[in-house]
């Protein structure tokens, strides 16, 4: 019986991991997991939109800032031009007043005009015309008449004269930029109500822009002066043409003329990533997003691993709980580190009381303490017996046999951390074994009785012979004694003694037959003891001969002389011999009487396998007949219980023989006899020194 038989039928419950796993509802809480991500996702979306909106907003702000700046600067330039022109207007009006009133000396006035022209680059010349338009005084040497001025300017002068107010003349549009364009300012001179002439100041339009507009503004902007028809009168583009992104126009309203100052910045749209700062913020944000993503992935992986782990733990716990085998782990010092529920059930002690316990353990039976300690010393030395039987003590004092399998407990790195023991409660198995043995014995006893039934009649007949002989010898002796009584002194002791001796021998022979029958039939425990093969055969010979005589078979024994003693159960082996010889005798019923020879051969042989006990030498006993032999179909079922080819056969003989031989550690085999018939042979171990001779050594008990 396998040591696992005890729990084999139940192992089906624990060896179905897949469906079992499905039964456990340890799936992840997906609803909760879904909600958990909503907030981070929203935050990330918000963050991303802010990230995109921020540079766009910055760009817009910068753009409008630039536009505002341009407007402010244009305004400032316009103001500057207006202020400068206003200052000149003022001066010219003063000079005109002086001329009209006639106070100023001509020379001094001319000097003032010259100084004014020199000090202000935008002024080209200042000329005083008389009422007829002839030049009276000029800031330079050029002498031109009022009428020689361009028609536009002349018309304005006329309007100024009529309206008595100083007026600017519309500058002529540029035929080409090379030709200098002038802006004439006409101040009519009146002495009282009498027109006395005209003071005309000519500005160089190009100088207005170059002199009055500061360089830094000109560097950043293209500046245009246009008339009311948007015709360009002058352009200054020191920093290159404008980009038409930031533009502004400002009316430069002067008396008599309306000009427009247009500015067009050379700067383009601000870039979306204008600064290193924004760039680094974006890089950092992208890094942040990446790490968020990585974190997300990592958390998901962890959650999955956690779920799988939980499933594993649940599965293992369930498996542990349903195991029928007790599990016990110990560290290298022998302290208990783990016990499963089955082990706790077995010993009747809760896990909390067992874990951390060092020897002596509460489940150790006091009577086996020495063996436990011996084993514990082995554990400390790092060697254990991989499999052994012992007894454990339940909390209620009950003892129970256990089969223990020990193996090293190794961690991930391959280092041994302790010992793992699987413990099987083999009480049931032991009971089954006992029952089996008892039944076997009963069967053997019944077989013996059956054998005896068969030979009972022969026995009665055979006993008749010695009893008849005894009877006749004793009758003869009695007769002699009676004759002696009639004729005293005539007793022939020489005749009486042998008769009595023969009677005694016959009585012994009868007694031996009866004894052998008695010991054979008696039911008893098997026990092995040293004996010789010769003695075995001698003991059983009377019974063999009884049967042999019945079938006219002659029995021959060939026993090697120097055969050593063997360790055997005499009665069992006698039964084996009796069965084999009986089968042999019966097999020879159908052959010629002269060939009916039964041979019993005992000799020394080498052990067949190293498993067989003894020191490599065995004694082999062969029962050889010349009978009908064994056909192949019979050979197949020869040892099956209740298999027989005989009408009254029980079919148990060979089965019992094989069990008995195997009990002795040998094997019962059969082969064809080359001379016809069959040979049955089996081996017996030779008695080696120090071999146990107790009666129950079939199972080597280890504790
Ligand atoms: P039984 O003798 O009651 O039939 P056994 O188990 O002793 O039961 O034998 C089983 C069968 O084996 C026999 O019926 C017989 O056919 C066969 N058998 C046993 N020994 C021999 C033999 N020496 N020669 C031929 N047949 C044999």
Q: Per-residue pLDDT tens for 93-111?
A: 998 888 888 776 788 888 8
Residue 13 lies in a domain: no
Helix (H, G, I), strand (E, B) or coil at 378: helix
634 Cβ below 6 A of ligand 1: yes
For residue 7, is pLDDT > 50?
Answer: no
pTM given for the model: 0.41
Of the chain, the end-to-end C-alpha distance in Å amounts to 19
Q: Give residues with Cβ within 8 angstroms of 51, minimum separation 6.
A: 282, 285
Range of the domain at 622: 526-703
585 Cβ below 6 A of ligand 1: no
Same domain, 644 and 530: yes
Give whole-number Cα distances, 99 to 107, 110, 134, 587, 598, in Å. 11, 10, 15, 179, 182
Ligand 1 centroid–CA 333 distance in Å is: 60
Same domain, 222 and 156: yes
Q: What percent of the chain has pLDDT over 90?
A: 27
When mean pLDDT is compared across 337-346, 415-424, 637-646, the lowest value belongs to 637-646
Ligand 1 centroid–CA 644 distance in Å is: 6
Ligand 1 centroid–CA 661 distance in Å is: 17
Q: What is the pLDDT of residues 455-489, one digit of tens each?
A: 665 566 567 667 877 888 888 888 888 887 777 76
Same domain, 642 and 693: yes
Task: Please report the pLDDT score of residue 272 as a whole number.
Answer: 64
Same domain, 436 and 404: no
For residue 16, is pLDDT > 60?
Answer: no
- Look-up: residue for tokens 């007793």? 491
Rounded Cα distance between 438 and 698, Å, is 14
Ligand 1 centroid–CA 589 distance in Å is: 13
Same domain, 108 and 154: yes
* Mean pLDDT within 517-542: 77
Task: Please report the pLDDT score of residue 19 as a whole number.
Answer: 38
Q: Which of 425, 448, 468 is the last residue of a domain?
A: 425
Cis bond leading into 607, ω under 30°? no
587 Cβ below 6 A of ligand 1: yes
587-591 contact pairs (CB < 8 A, 24+): 587/625, 587/627, 587/628, 587/629, 587/677, 587/678, 588/551, 588/553, 588/625, 588/626, 588/627, 588/677, 589/551, 589/627, 590/627, 590/628, 591/626, 591/627, 591/628
578 Cβ below 6 A of ligand 1: no
When mean pLDDT is compared across 134-143, 177-186, 419-428, 654-663, the lowest value belongs to 177-186
598 Cβ below 6 A of ligand 1: no
Ligand 1 centroid–CA 680 distance in Å is: 11
Same domain, 661 and 592: yes
When mean pLDDT is compared across 34-38, 418-422, 652-656, the lowest value belongs to 34-38
What confidence category does residue 616 fall into, taking pLDDT thresholds of 50, 70 and 90?
Answer: low
Q: Which of 385, 405, 425 is the last residue of a domain?
A: 425
* Mean pLDDT within 615-630: 88
Residue 258 lies in a domain: yes
Query: Ligand 1, residues 579, 654, 661, 673: which to mutate, most atoms within 8 A of Cβ?
Result: 654
Same domain, 94 and 215: yes
Same domain, 520 and 552: no
Same domain, 642 and 501: no
Q: Are 450 and 457 in contact (CB under 8 A)?
A: no
Same domain, 485 and 441: yes
Kindly tell me the burial class for residue 227, based on how many C-beta atoms sit within 10 Å of its own C-beta (0-12, 13-18, 19 or more). Answer: middle
Rounded Cα distance between 687 and 532, Å, is 10
CATH number reported for the structural domain that contains residue 560 in this entry = 3.30.565.10
Structure tokens at 334: 């022998």
Task: Please report the pLDDT score of residue 545 as a whole number.
Answer: 86
Task: Say how many domains are in the chain.
Answer: 4
Q: Are 72 and 250 in contact (CB under 8 A)?
A: no
Q: Are 186 and 198 in contact (CB under 8 A)?
A: yes
Ligand 1 centroid–CA 670 distance in Å is: 11
Residue 103 lies in a domain: yes
Rounded Cα distance between 8 and 674, Å, is 47
Query: Ligand 1, residues 450, 635, 644, 678: which to mutate, most atoms within 8 A of Cβ?
Result: 644
Mean pLDDT value across the chain: 81
Ligand 1 centroid–CA 609 distance in Å is: 27
Looking at ligand 1, which residue's alpha carbon is closest to its atom 11? Answer: 644
Structure tokens at 147: 């009428």
φ/ψ (deg, to 5) at 280? -70, -35
Q: Which of 485, 506, 525 is the last residue of a domain?
A: 525
Looking at ligand 1, which residue's alpha carbon is closest to its atom 8? Answer: 651
650 Cβ below 6 A of ligand 1: yes
Q: Are 389 and 401 in contact (CB under 8 A)?
A: yes
Kindly tell me the burial class for residue 616, based on how many C-beta atoms sit within 10 Å of its own C-beta (0-12, 13-18, 19 or more). Answer: exposed
Query: Ligand 1, residues 577, 583, 584: which to mutate, most atoms within 8 A of Cβ?
Result: 583
645 Cβ below 6 A of ligand 1: yes
676 Cβ below 6 A of ligand 1: no
What confidence category does residue 38 fall into, taking pLDDT thresholds of 50, 70 and 90?
Answer: confident
Rounded Cα distance between 425 and 24, Å, is 30
What confidence category does residue 17 fall into, taking pLDDT thresholds of 50, 70 and 90?
Answer: very low
Give whole-number Cα distances, 312 to 121, 301, 316, 319, 600, in Å. 97, 16, 6, 10, 67
Residue 235 lies in a domain: yes
3-state SS track over 255-298:
CCEEEEEEEEECCCCCCCCCCHHHHHHHHHHHHHHHHHHHHHHH
Helix (H, G, I), strand (E, B) or coil at 668: strand
Residue 308 lies in a domain: no
406 Cβ below 6 A of ligand 1: no
579 Cβ below 6 A of ligand 1: yes
Same domain, 398 and 463: no
Rounded Cα distance between 606 and 547, Å, is 33
* Mean pLDDT within 159-176: 81
CATH number reported for the structural domain that contains residue 408 in this entry = 3.30.450.20
Q: Are 249 and 264 in contact (CB under 8 A)?
A: no
Same domain, 418 and 507: no
Ligand 1 centroid–CA 632 distance in Å is: 13
When mean pLDDT is compared across 33-37, 244-248, 352-356, the lowest value belongs to 33-37
């Amino acid at each position: 019986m396998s040591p696992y038989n005890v729990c084999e039928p139940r192992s089906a419950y624990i060896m179905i991991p897949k469906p079992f796993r499905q039964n456990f509802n340890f799936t992840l809480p997906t609803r909760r997991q879904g909600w958990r991500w909503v907030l981070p996702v929203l935050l990330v979306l918000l963050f991303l939109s802010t990230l995109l909106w921020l540079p766009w907003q910055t760009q817009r702000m910068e753009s409008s800032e630039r536009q505002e700046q341009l407007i402010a600067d244009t305004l400032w330039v316009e103001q500057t031009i207006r202020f400068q022109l206003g200052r000149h207007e003022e001066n010219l009006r003063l000079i005109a007043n002086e001329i009209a009133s006639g106070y100023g000396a001509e020379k001094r006035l001319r000097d003032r005009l010259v100084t004014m022209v020199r000090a202000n680059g935008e002024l080209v010349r200042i000329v005083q015309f008389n009422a007829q338009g002839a030049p009276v005084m000029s800031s330079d040497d050029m002498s031109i008449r009022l009428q020689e001025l361009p028609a536009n300017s002349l018309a304005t002068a006329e309007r100024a004269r009529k309206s008595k107010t100083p007026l600017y003349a519309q500058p002529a549009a540029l035929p080409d930029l090379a030709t200098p364009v002038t802006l004439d300012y006409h101040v009519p001179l009146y002495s009282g109500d009498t027109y006395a002439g005209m003071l005309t100041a000519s500005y160089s339009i190009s100088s207005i822009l170059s002199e009055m507009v500061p360089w830094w503004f000109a560097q950043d902007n293209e500046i245009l002066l246009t008339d009311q028809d948007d015709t360009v009168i002058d352009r200054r583009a020191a920093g290159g043409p404008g980009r038409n992104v930031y533009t502004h126009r400002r009316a430069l309203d002067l008396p008599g003329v309306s000009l427009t100052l247009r500015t067009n910045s050379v700067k383009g749209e601000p870039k979306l990533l204008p600064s290193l700062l924004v760039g680094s913020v974006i890089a950092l944000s992208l890094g942040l997003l990446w790490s968020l993503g990585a974190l997300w992935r990592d958390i998901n992986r962890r959650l999955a691993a956690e779920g799988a782990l939980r499933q594993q733990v649940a599965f293992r716990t369930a498996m542990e709980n349903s195991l029928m085998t007790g599990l016990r782990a110990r560290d290298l010092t022998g302290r208990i580190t783990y016990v499963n529920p089955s082990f706790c059930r077995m010993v009747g002690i809760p896990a909390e009381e067992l874990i951390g316990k060092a020897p002596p353990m509460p489940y150790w039976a006091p009577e086996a303490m020495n063996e436990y300690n011996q084993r514990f010393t082995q554990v400390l030395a790092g060697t254990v017996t991989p499999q052994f039987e012992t007894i454990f003590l339940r909390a209620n004092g009950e003892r129970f046999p256990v089969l223990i399998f020990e193996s090293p407990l190794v961690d991930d790195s391959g280092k041994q951390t302790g010992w793992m023991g699987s413990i099987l409660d083999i009480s049931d198995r032991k009971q089954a074994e006992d029952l089996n043995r008892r039944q076997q014995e009963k069967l053997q006893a019944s077989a013996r009785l059956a054998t005896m039934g068969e030979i009972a009649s022969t026995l009665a007949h055979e006993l008749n012979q010695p009893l008849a002989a005894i009877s006749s010898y004793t009758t003869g002796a009695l007769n002699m004694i009676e004759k002696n009584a009639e004729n005293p002194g005539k007793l022939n002791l020489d005749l009486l003694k042998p008769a009595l001796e023969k009677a005694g021998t016959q009585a012994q022979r009868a007694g031996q037959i009866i004894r052998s029958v008695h010991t054979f039939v008696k039911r008893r425990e098997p026990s092995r003891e040293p004996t010789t093969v010769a003695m075995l055969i001698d003991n059983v010979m009377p019974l063999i001969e009884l049967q042999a005589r019945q079938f006219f078979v002659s029995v021959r024994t060939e026993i090697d002389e120097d055969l050593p003693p063997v360790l055997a159960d005499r009665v069992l082996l006698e039964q084996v011999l009796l069965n084999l010889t009986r089968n042999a005798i019966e097999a020879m019923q159908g052959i010629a009487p002269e060939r009916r020879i039964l041979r019993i051969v005992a000799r020394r042989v080498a052990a067949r396998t190293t498993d067989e006990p003894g020191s490599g030498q065995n004694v082999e006993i062969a029962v050889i007949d010349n009978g009908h032999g064994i056909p192949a179909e019979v050979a197949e079922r020869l040892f099956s219980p209740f298999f027989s080819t005989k009408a009254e056969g029980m079919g148990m003989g060979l089965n019992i023989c094989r069990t008995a031989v195997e009990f002795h550690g040998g094997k019962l085999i059969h082969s064809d006899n080359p001379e016809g018939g069959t040979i049955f042979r089996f081996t017996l171990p030779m008695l080696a020194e120090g071999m146990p001779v107790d009666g129950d050594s079939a199972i080597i008990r280890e504790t």
